[in-house]
Copies of this chain bind each other. A is one copy, B any other.
Protein backbone atom coordinates (compact mmCIF):
# COMPACT_ATOMS: atom_id res chain seq x y z
CA UNK A 1 0.00 0.00 0.00
CA UNK A 2 1.41 3.37 -0.99
CA UNK A 3 1.77 5.94 1.78
CA UNK A 4 0.91 9.61 1.67
CA UNK A 5 4.53 10.74 1.90
CA UNK A 6 5.40 8.76 -1.21
CA UNK A 7 2.39 10.22 -3.04
CA UNK A 8 3.41 13.72 -1.95
CA UNK A 9 6.89 13.09 -3.32
CA UNK A 10 5.78 11.66 -6.67
CA UNK A 11 2.62 13.60 -7.52
CA UNK A 12 2.84 15.87 -10.55
CA UNK A 13 0.29 18.16 -12.15
CA UNK A 14 -1.17 17.82 -15.60
CA UNK A 15 -4.53 18.51 -17.19
CA UNK A 16 -6.11 15.05 -16.81
CA UNK A 17 -9.40 14.44 -15.04
CA UNK A 18 -10.24 11.62 -12.63
CA UNK A 19 -13.65 10.49 -11.40
CA UNK A 20 -14.02 8.33 -8.30
CA UNK A 21 -17.59 7.05 -8.56
CA UNK A 22 -18.66 5.59 -5.21
CA UNK A 23 -21.81 3.53 -4.99
CA UNK A 24 -22.22 3.48 -1.24
CA UNK A 25 -22.52 -0.09 0.06
CA UNK A 26 -22.61 -1.51 -3.48
CA UNK A 27 -21.12 -4.90 -2.59
CA UNK A 28 -23.78 -7.52 -2.02
CA UNK A 29 -24.59 -11.18 -1.51
CA UNK A 30 -27.01 -13.62 -3.13
CA UNK A 31 -30.23 -14.03 -1.14
CA UNK A 32 -30.08 -17.80 -1.78
CA UNK A 33 -26.94 -19.93 -2.21
CA UNK A 34 -27.34 -20.22 -5.97
CA UNK A 35 -28.63 -16.69 -6.55
CA UNK A 36 -27.08 -13.51 -7.88
CA UNK A 37 -25.93 -10.46 -5.93
CA UNK A 38 -27.76 -7.14 -6.26
CA UNK A 39 -25.11 -5.86 -8.66
CA UNK A 40 -25.10 -9.07 -10.71
CA UNK A 41 -28.91 -9.08 -10.87
CA UNK A 42 -29.18 -5.42 -11.91
CA UNK A 43 -29.46 -4.75 -15.65
CA UNK A 44 -26.40 -2.57 -16.20
CA UNK A 45 -25.48 -2.51 -19.89
CA UNK A 46 -23.31 0.61 -19.60
CA UNK A 47 -21.33 -0.54 -16.57
CA UNK A 48 -20.87 -3.93 -18.24
CA UNK A 49 -19.62 -2.42 -21.48
CA UNK A 50 -17.26 -0.24 -19.48
CA UNK A 51 -16.07 -3.32 -17.55
CA UNK A 52 -15.09 -5.08 -20.79
CA UNK A 53 -12.79 -2.11 -21.58
CA UNK A 54 -11.47 -1.82 -18.01
CA UNK A 55 -9.32 -3.64 -15.52
CA UNK A 56 -11.32 -4.99 -12.61
CA UNK A 57 -10.66 -6.50 -9.21
CA UNK A 58 -11.73 -6.74 -5.60
CA UNK A 59 -10.80 -4.30 -2.86
CA UNK A 60 -10.73 -4.50 0.94
CA UNK A 61 -11.61 -1.28 2.78
CA UNK A 62 -9.84 -1.95 6.08
CA UNK A 63 -8.41 -5.46 6.62
CA UNK A 64 -9.99 -8.83 5.81
CA UNK A 65 -13.05 -9.42 7.97
CA UNK A 66 -13.38 -5.88 9.28
CA UNK A 67 -16.55 -3.91 8.47
CA UNK A 68 -16.00 -0.18 8.05
CA UNK A 69 -18.23 2.62 9.24
CA UNK A 70 -18.79 5.39 6.71
CA UNK A 71 -15.91 7.46 8.04
CA UNK A 72 -13.13 4.86 7.73
CA UNK A 73 -14.68 3.48 4.51
CA UNK A 74 -14.30 6.86 2.84
CA UNK A 75 -10.95 7.81 4.34
CA UNK A 76 -9.67 4.55 2.93
CA UNK A 77 -11.11 5.34 -0.53
CA UNK A 78 -9.40 8.74 -0.36
CA UNK A 79 -6.03 7.04 0.21
CA UNK A 80 -5.66 7.34 3.98
CA UNK A 81 -4.67 4.33 6.06
CA UNK A 82 -7.92 3.93 8.01
CA UNK A 83 -6.12 2.41 11.00
CA UNK A 84 -3.86 5.45 11.22
CA UNK A 85 -6.35 8.25 10.57
CA UNK A 86 -9.60 8.35 12.48
CA UNK A 87 -12.53 10.74 12.55
CA UNK A 88 -14.15 10.98 15.98
CA UNK A 89 -17.81 10.07 16.37
CA UNK A 90 -18.78 13.59 17.44
CA UNK A 91 -17.20 15.07 14.31
CA UNK A 92 -18.95 12.52 12.04
CA UNK A 93 -22.27 13.19 13.74
CA UNK A 94 -21.85 16.96 13.22
CA UNK A 95 -20.91 16.40 9.57
CA UNK A 96 -23.88 14.06 9.19
CA UNK A 97 -26.36 16.86 9.94
CA UNK A 98 -24.49 19.29 7.72
CA UNK A 99 -23.17 21.37 10.61
CA UNK A 100 -20.49 23.76 9.36
CA UNK A 101 -17.76 22.46 11.64
CA UNK A 102 -14.71 24.68 12.02
CA UNK A 103 -11.17 23.43 12.38
CA UNK A 104 -10.90 24.08 16.14
CA UNK A 105 -14.47 23.15 17.13
CA UNK A 106 -15.00 20.41 19.69
CA UNK A 107 -17.94 18.18 18.75
CA UNK A 108 -19.73 15.47 20.72
CA UNK A 109 -22.56 13.14 19.99
CA UNK A 110 -25.22 13.63 22.64
CA UNK A 111 -27.82 11.10 23.78
CA UNK A 112 -30.76 12.05 25.97
CA UNK A 113 -31.28 9.48 28.72
CA UNK A 114 -33.56 8.77 31.69
CA UNK A 115 -32.26 9.03 35.26
CA UNK A 116 -33.87 7.84 38.50
CA UNK A 117 -34.16 9.92 41.68
CA UNK A 118 -30.59 9.01 42.63
CA UNK A 119 -29.22 10.06 39.27
CA UNK A 120 -28.67 6.53 37.99
CA UNK A 121 -29.38 5.82 34.32
CA UNK A 122 -32.57 3.81 33.76
CA UNK A 123 -32.74 4.14 29.95
CA UNK A 124 -29.73 5.17 27.83
CA UNK A 125 -32.04 6.35 25.02
CA UNK A 126 -34.78 8.04 27.06
CA UNK A 127 -37.44 5.78 25.60
CA UNK A 128 -36.45 6.88 22.09
CA UNK A 129 -38.32 10.16 22.41
CA UNK A 130 -39.77 11.55 19.17
CA UNK A 131 -37.48 13.78 17.10
CA UNK A 132 -39.56 16.90 17.82
CA UNK A 133 -39.27 16.33 21.58
CA UNK A 134 -35.52 15.99 21.23
CA UNK A 135 -35.44 19.20 19.19
CA UNK A 136 -37.36 21.11 21.89
CA UNK A 137 -34.92 19.89 24.54
CA UNK A 138 -31.97 21.01 22.38
CA UNK A 139 -33.59 24.45 22.27
CA UNK A 140 -33.50 24.57 26.09
CA UNK A 141 -29.91 23.34 26.28
CA UNK A 142 -28.83 26.22 24.05
CA UNK A 143 -29.35 28.53 27.04
CA UNK A 144 -26.22 27.12 28.68
CA UNK A 145 -23.46 29.69 28.55
CA UNK A 146 -19.80 28.86 28.92
CA UNK A 147 -17.26 31.66 29.46
CA UNK A 148 -15.47 32.64 26.25
CA UNK A 149 -17.16 29.92 24.15
CA UNK A 150 -20.00 29.70 21.69
CA UNK A 151 -22.10 26.55 22.09
CA UNK A 152 -24.31 24.82 19.54
CA UNK A 153 -26.84 22.12 20.41
CA UNK A 154 -28.34 20.59 17.29
CA UNK A 155 -30.97 17.86 17.14
CA UNK A 156 -30.18 14.77 15.04
CA UNK A 157 -32.97 12.22 15.42
CA UNK A 158 -35.07 10.94 18.34
CA UNK A 159 -32.81 10.97 21.44
CA UNK A 160 -29.66 11.99 19.54
CA UNK A 161 -28.14 15.46 19.31
CA UNK A 162 -24.83 17.13 18.58
CA UNK A 163 -23.03 19.47 20.97
CA UNK A 164 -20.39 21.74 19.47
CA UNK A 165 -18.18 24.05 21.52
CA UNK A 166 -16.39 26.83 19.65
CA UNK A 167 -13.62 28.97 21.04
CA UNK A 168 -9.90 29.03 21.74
CA UNK A 169 -7.86 26.44 23.58
CA UNK A 170 -10.19 23.46 23.31
CA UNK A 171 -8.51 20.07 23.19
CA UNK A 172 -9.83 16.63 22.39
CA UNK A 173 -8.58 13.50 24.14
CA UNK A 174 -11.48 13.21 26.59
CA UNK A 175 -13.34 10.21 27.96
CA UNK A 176 -17.08 9.79 27.35
CA UNK A 177 -19.80 10.29 29.95
CA UNK A 178 -21.83 7.31 28.74
CA UNK A 179 -21.10 4.31 30.99
CA UNK A 180 -22.77 2.07 28.34
CA UNK A 181 -24.97 0.48 31.01
CA UNK A 182 -27.94 1.28 33.21
CA UNK A 183 -28.00 1.45 37.02
CA UNK A 184 -25.00 3.77 37.20
CA UNK A 185 -24.73 7.55 36.84
CA UNK A 186 -23.23 9.34 33.81
CA UNK A 187 -19.46 9.49 34.22
CA UNK A 188 -17.49 12.69 34.57
CA UNK A 189 -15.35 13.54 31.53
CA UNK A 190 -11.67 12.86 32.18
CA UNK A 191 -8.74 14.23 30.19
CA UNK A 192 -6.59 11.59 28.47
CA UNK A 193 -3.59 13.95 28.48
CA UNK A 194 -2.70 17.00 30.62
CA UNK A 195 -3.46 19.62 27.92
CA UNK A 196 -7.10 18.50 27.89
CA UNK A 197 -7.64 19.14 31.64
CA UNK A 198 -9.26 22.57 31.24
CA UNK A 199 -11.44 21.33 28.36
CA UNK A 200 -12.64 18.41 30.50
CA UNK A 201 -13.68 20.88 33.22
CA UNK A 202 -15.58 22.97 30.68
CA UNK A 203 -17.44 19.93 29.34
CA UNK A 204 -18.27 18.79 32.89
CA UNK A 205 -19.58 22.28 33.62
CA UNK A 206 -21.83 22.02 30.56
CA UNK A 207 -23.04 18.61 31.73
CA UNK A 208 -23.87 19.99 35.22
CA UNK A 209 -25.89 22.84 33.68
CA UNK A 210 -27.65 20.43 31.31
CA UNK A 211 -28.59 18.23 34.26
CA UNK A 212 -30.29 21.19 35.99
CA UNK A 213 -32.15 22.27 32.86
CA UNK A 214 -33.38 18.75 32.11
CA UNK A 215 -34.22 17.90 35.74
CA UNK A 216 -38.00 18.15 35.38
CA UNK A 217 -38.27 16.68 31.89
CA UNK A 218 -39.65 13.22 31.44
CA UNK A 219 -38.44 10.73 30.26
CA UNK A 220 -35.39 12.67 29.01
CA UNK A 221 -34.17 14.12 32.33
CA UNK A 222 -30.50 13.53 31.60
CA UNK A 223 -27.99 13.21 28.79
CA UNK A 224 -24.66 11.70 27.87
CA UNK A 225 -21.83 12.79 25.58
CA UNK A 226 -19.87 10.37 23.41
CA UNK A 227 -16.97 10.61 20.95
CA UNK A 228 -15.91 14.12 21.99
CA UNK A 229 -13.54 15.07 19.19
CA UNK A 230 -12.12 17.71 16.88
CA UNK A 231 -11.44 17.73 13.14
CA UNK A 232 -8.50 15.29 13.02
CA UNK A 233 -6.49 17.65 10.80
CA UNK A 234 -6.03 15.20 7.94
CA UNK A 235 -3.29 15.80 5.42
CA UNK A 236 -5.15 17.58 2.63
CA UNK A 237 -5.72 15.81 -0.70
CA UNK A 238 -4.90 18.86 -2.87
CA UNK A 239 -1.56 19.13 -1.12
CA UNK A 240 -0.76 15.38 -1.19
CA UNK A 241 -1.88 14.64 -4.75
CA UNK A 242 -1.63 18.10 -6.37
CA UNK A 243 -5.25 17.64 -7.42
CA UNK A 244 -8.06 20.18 -7.30
CA UNK A 245 -10.73 18.02 -5.71
CA UNK A 246 -14.47 18.49 -5.94
CA UNK A 247 -17.01 16.43 -4.01
CA UNK A 248 -20.54 15.72 -5.21
CA UNK A 249 -22.77 14.01 -2.66
CA UNK A 250 -26.40 14.23 -1.69
CA UNK A 251 -25.93 13.44 2.01
CA UNK A 252 -24.23 15.75 4.50
CA UNK A 253 -21.92 13.16 6.06
CA UNK A 254 -20.11 12.39 2.80
CA UNK A 255 -19.80 16.07 1.97
CA UNK A 256 -18.37 16.53 5.45
CA UNK A 257 -15.79 13.77 5.18
CA UNK A 258 -14.75 15.07 1.75
CA UNK A 259 -14.31 18.52 3.25
CA UNK A 260 -12.12 17.13 6.05
CA UNK A 261 -9.92 15.60 3.33
CA UNK A 262 -9.54 18.99 1.69
CA UNK A 263 -12.06 18.72 -1.15
CA UNK A 264 -14.34 21.55 -2.25
CA UNK A 265 -17.93 20.53 -1.64
CA UNK A 266 -20.03 21.37 -4.71
CA UNK A 267 -23.66 22.31 -4.08
CA UNK A 268 -26.00 19.77 -5.63
CA UNK A 269 -29.55 18.41 -5.34
CA UNK A 270 -31.13 15.24 -4.07
CA UNK A 271 -31.01 13.03 -7.15
CA UNK A 272 -28.38 11.29 -9.20
CA UNK A 273 -29.44 13.44 -12.18
CA UNK A 274 -28.72 16.65 -10.28
CA UNK A 275 -25.37 15.21 -9.22
CA UNK A 276 -24.54 14.61 -12.90
CA UNK A 277 -25.61 18.19 -13.67
CA UNK A 278 -23.28 19.42 -10.92
CA UNK A 279 -20.46 17.34 -12.38
CA UNK A 280 -21.01 18.90 -15.80
CA UNK A 281 -21.19 22.43 -14.41
CA UNK A 282 -17.89 22.13 -12.56
CA UNK A 283 -16.09 19.89 -15.05
CA UNK A 284 -13.57 22.52 -16.07
CA UNK A 285 -12.79 23.63 -12.53
CA UNK A 286 -11.44 20.43 -10.96
CA UNK A 287 -9.03 17.57 -11.67
CA UNK A 288 -10.63 15.04 -9.37
CA UNK A 289 -14.29 14.40 -8.63
CA UNK A 290 -15.62 12.29 -5.78
CA UNK A 291 -19.11 11.35 -6.98
CA UNK A 292 -21.18 9.68 -4.28
CA UNK A 293 -24.40 7.68 -4.74
CA UNK A 294 -26.06 7.10 -1.38
CA UNK A 295 -29.13 5.00 -1.94
CA UNK A 296 -27.44 1.70 -2.77
CA UNK A 297 -26.47 1.64 0.91
CA UNK A 298 -29.90 2.78 2.15
CA UNK A 299 -31.71 0.03 0.23
CA UNK A 300 -29.16 -2.53 1.39
CA UNK A 301 -29.70 -1.50 5.03
CA UNK A 302 -33.44 -1.92 4.43
CA UNK A 303 -32.87 -5.47 3.17
CA UNK A 304 -34.42 -4.33 -0.11
CA UNK A 305 -32.57 -6.40 -2.74
CA UNK A 306 -34.65 -5.22 -5.69
CA UNK A 307 -34.58 -1.61 -4.52
CA UNK A 308 -30.79 -1.71 -4.30
CA UNK A 309 -30.55 -3.24 -7.77
CA UNK A 310 -32.80 -0.42 -9.05
CA UNK A 311 -30.50 2.27 -7.63
CA UNK A 312 -27.61 0.60 -9.46
CA UNK A 313 -29.68 0.56 -12.67
CA UNK A 314 -30.46 4.24 -12.10
CA UNK A 315 -26.76 5.04 -11.95
CA UNK A 316 -26.15 2.86 -14.99
CA UNK A 317 -28.69 4.90 -16.94
CA UNK A 318 -26.80 8.15 -16.35
CA UNK A 319 -23.35 6.63 -16.86
CA UNK A 320 -23.22 7.62 -20.56
CA UNK A 321 -23.69 11.26 -19.52
CA UNK A 322 -20.76 10.95 -17.14
CA UNK A 323 -18.56 9.20 -19.71
CA UNK A 324 -19.50 11.83 -22.31
CA UNK A 325 -17.38 14.25 -20.29
CA UNK A 326 -14.40 12.11 -21.33
CA UNK A 327 -12.61 11.63 -18.03
CA UNK A 328 -9.06 10.32 -18.34
CA UNK A 329 -9.61 7.89 -15.48
CA UNK A 330 -12.78 6.59 -13.89
CA UNK A 331 -13.01 4.22 -10.96
CA UNK A 332 -16.31 2.64 -9.94
CA UNK A 333 -16.52 0.99 -6.53
CA UNK A 334 -18.05 1.35 -3.07
CA UNK A 335 -16.87 2.36 0.41
CA UNK A 336 -18.05 -0.97 1.85
CA UNK A 337 -20.57 -3.71 1.10
CA UNK A 338 -24.15 -3.50 2.37
CA UNK A 339 -25.77 -6.78 1.31
CA UNK A 340 -29.56 -6.77 1.50
CA UNK A 341 -29.17 -10.23 3.06
CA UNK A 342 -27.11 -8.76 5.92
CA UNK A 343 -29.09 -5.47 6.22
CA UNK A 344 -26.02 -3.60 7.42
CA UNK A 345 -22.52 -2.63 6.40
CA UNK A 346 -20.41 -5.74 5.94
CA UNK A 347 -16.78 -6.78 5.62
CA UNK A 348 -17.04 -8.23 2.10
CA UNK A 349 -14.69 -6.95 -0.56
CA UNK A 350 -15.82 -4.38 -3.13
CA UNK A 351 -15.87 -4.93 -6.87
CA UNK A 352 -13.64 -2.34 -8.53
CA UNK A 353 -13.64 -1.16 -12.13
CA UNK A 354 -10.79 1.07 -13.35
CA UNK A 355 -10.87 2.57 -16.81
CA UNK A 356 -8.31 4.70 -18.57
CA UNK A 357 -6.67 4.66 -21.99
CA UNK A 358 -3.68 3.04 -20.29
CA UNK A 359 -5.22 0.17 -18.39
CA UNK A 360 -4.07 -3.36 -19.12
CA UNK A 361 -7.33 -5.05 -20.06
CA UNK A 362 -8.45 -8.27 -18.42
CA UNK A 363 -11.25 -10.65 -19.40
CA UNK A 364 -13.96 -9.46 -17.01
CA UNK A 365 -17.18 -9.28 -19.04
CA UNK A 366 -19.42 -7.60 -16.48
CA UNK A 367 -19.25 -5.31 -13.46
CA UNK A 368 -20.24 -7.71 -10.68
CA UNK A 369 -18.74 -9.43 -7.67
CA UNK A 370 -18.01 -12.82 -9.22
CA UNK A 371 -16.63 -11.46 -12.50
CA UNK A 372 -14.42 -8.98 -10.61
CA UNK A 373 -12.99 -11.81 -8.44
CA UNK A 374 -11.22 -12.96 -11.60
CA UNK A 375 -10.14 -9.45 -12.58
CA UNK A 376 -6.68 -8.30 -13.47
CA UNK A 377 -6.28 -6.02 -10.46
CA UNK A 378 -6.51 -9.02 -8.18
CA UNK A 379 -7.23 -8.25 -4.54
CA UNK A 380 -6.16 -4.79 -3.50
CA UNK A 381 -6.78 -2.36 -0.66
CA UNK A 382 -8.91 0.76 -0.89
CA UNK A 383 -5.96 3.10 -0.27
CA UNK A 384 -4.37 1.68 -3.45
CA UNK A 385 -7.13 3.15 -5.61
CA UNK A 386 -6.11 6.80 -5.77
CA UNK A 387 -2.45 5.93 -6.44
CA UNK A 388 -3.66 3.70 -9.31
CA UNK A 389 -5.90 6.48 -10.62
CA UNK A 390 -3.02 8.95 -10.38
CA UNK A 391 -0.71 6.59 -12.25
CA UNK A 392 -3.21 5.98 -15.06
CA UNK A 393 -3.65 9.76 -15.32
CA UNK A 394 0.10 10.23 -15.77
CA UNK A 395 0.20 12.11 -12.49
CA UNK A 396 2.90 10.12 -10.65
CA UNK A 397 6.58 10.62 -11.40
CA UNK A 398 8.96 7.70 -11.49
CA UNK A 399 10.26 6.52 -8.12
CA UNK A 400 14.04 6.56 -8.03
CA UNK A 401 16.44 6.95 -10.91
Q: Report A's interface with B, CB cutoff 8 A.
A: 1-2, 6, 10, 27, 29-30, 33, 37, 53, 58, 62-72, 82-83, 86-87, 89, 92-93, 227, 339, 341-342, 344-349, 358, 360-363, 369-370, 373-376, 378-380, 384, 387-391, 396-401
Contact = CB atoms under 8 A, between A and B. Distances in A.
B374 A86 contact: no
A342 B370 contact: no
Given A67-B391, A83-B6, A361-B33, A93 B401 contact: yes
Given A53-B33, A401-B93, A66 B348 contact: no
Nearest to A380: B64
Contact of A401 (B27, B69, B363, B388): B69
Given A391-B347, A401-B70, A401-B92, A360 B37 contact: yes
Tell me how many chains of this kind the complex includes.
2
A68 B380 contact: no
B2 A398 contact: no
A360 B68 CA distance: 18
A390 B66 CA distance: 9
B370 A2 contact: no
A379 B377 CA distance: 8
B398 A345 contact: yes
A102 B245 CA distance: 48
A288 to B, nearest CB: 15
A338 to B, nearest CB: 11
B396 A347 contact: yes
Given A33-B361, A401-B71, A65 B342 contact: no
